[in-house]
Structure 1
């Protein structure tokens, strides 16, 4: 009869000891924060966002941007969506568990986002072009922006995407 509980060969013992040591180290690291703070599963894409304020937004029929760094250039067409602002609806109660509300209200602006997978965390040259329905340039402006890694829940959760943002107001683009 063969036992189900056979001993592993002696040469496997160092590997088991190393695995056990790694597991104990991982458990010790998990207990270093009391209690450990969970990191949310939040997706943050890599790219550049554009917000166009009213009344400029109403005149824009198409938008594109050209982004260049280290000899690489990428041209992206932007799909613009209506933007909104939050309108407070007040709170019920005053304590830490009070319930507060807000409503989204259209603000006449529009926004878009260009996905740029390899966007670096170093200065890039962005040429933003906004055209009217007659294909005339409303904005054709170059800016230098430095994208940054997004940290949603603090440094213990690591970074997500690399992003930069532009705002267009009164016919002029600026980096945020």
Structure 2
């Protein structure tokens, strides 16, 4: 190879990249799987009309005669708002919806019906909501079929004053 050390390094890097791409194509699967993990647990969404004054949440999840109380840290829910396009470059920004959301990690969550009990609390600890719903966690495949399974997850939503499976 002729050229400076930097030029030779660039060419060698390009050859390695080309070989890697060709090797992936030759593997035949044609599907790229990332190493993304899938946490096991229960998600909670609180609709904007039910989130007013909510400062904290408590959750209890029960199965096989035992109950667990995972930590729940509520955060403001956001959605994308289109900011328009300028010279072919488009943008969006996250804006608050008025709702709240959380994810409670739970090791050992089964792929079988569980009961989820949720309490919402105001800033001074007063109870604003208390309800229970039966849900069935399902295994999540972050990259879709053929890329391995993650952990089971379930979701509940508080909307119109009631707790429901999401």
* Corresponding position: 1:121 with 2:121: no
Give the TM-score normalised by the residue count of structure 1: 0.71
RMSD: 2.4
Gap runs ≥5 in structure 2:
1-23
SS of residue matched to 2:154: strand
Deviations 1:27-79 (A, max 9, x none): xxx99973431201112211001111223223112211111111221012311
SS of residue matched to 1:56: helix
By how many angstroms is 1:83 displaced? 1.2
By how many angstroms is 1:100 displaced? 5.1
* Of 123, 129, 139, the match for 1:149: 139
* Corresponding position: 1:164 with 2:154: yes
Partner of 1:19: none
Kept in 2, the 8 Å contact 1:138–1:171? The answer is no
Measured in 2, the distance between the counterparts of 1:66 and 1:92 equals: 48
* Corresponding position: 1:64 with 2:54: no
State the number of aligned residues. Answer: 143
SS of residue matched to 1:55: helix
Kept in 1, the 8 Å contact 2:82–2:92? The answer is yes
Give the TM-score normalised by the residue count of structure 2: 0.75
Kept in 1, the 8 Å contact 2:41–2:104? The answer is yes
Partner of 2:127: 137
Gap runs ≥5 in structure 1:
1-29
